[in-house]
Amino acid sequence: MRVVIAGGHGQIARRLGRLLARRGDRVAGLIRNGEHAADLLSDGVEPVVCDLETAAVDEVARRLAGADAVVFAAGAGPGSGAARKDTVDRGAAVLVADAAQRVGVRRLVVVSAMGADAPPPPDADPVFAAYRRAKGAADAEVRGRSGLFWTILRPGRLTDGPGTGRVLLAEPPVDAGAVPRDDVAAVLVALLDTPGTAGLTLDLVGGSEPVAEAVAAVARP
């Protein structure tokens, strides 16, 4: 399988890239900063420089051509302001979905955030509120794209501890909780392998069910 990861240098993206490369998949990572290319090469991932904030849809489409699946794992990241939450967390996700449609890449998995469909609390930090709105808007746009076999994964609070291999994965709402990035990456691999998860929006937190069983349980026949 050939997989393109948008936001290829992110923490979840690199974990995902290593998992896919180790099992023999061909993986490319879209990165904004060419200085990150060596990191991806060390993971067994092909680095592709493509700035999703400035690229036209035709350019992104060329980068996705020939892929079996695309994973959108890009994000403006900590320290960015409200404007970049919109241009990256929303705008880049929509751009990737449009590009995938243009070249006939039908499988798209999007890394979103728990609670993205709900309005942010009135007392929320303005940047966090912008992030939540951007994720929710991006998810709505992706769900509206005809011809895409999309899955939206909404992890809870991300942690850097070692993965447990056990999760709680279900359609919203799921009680808020934390989940290791290792386990998010493992779930993404399982989602890519399970066509029956297309058309689902799924919350993810730490739990007691093995990843493979959790994904199989939510998949449609």
The rounded distance, in Å, linking the Cα atoms of 150 and 135 is 15
Catalytic residues: 131
Q: Are strands 107-111 and 200-206 parallel, antiparallel or unpaired?
A: unpaired
Distance CA 105, CA 99 (A): 8
Count of other CB atoms within 10 angstroms of residue 121: 11
Structural tokens at position 108: 């798209």
**Which residues, 6 or more positions from 52, have their beta carbon under 8 angstroms from its beta carbon?**
6, 7, 30, 32, 60, 74, 88, 91, 92, 95, 96
Q: Using DSSP, state whether 71 is helix, strand or coil.
A: strand
Residues forming a β-bridge with 154: 203
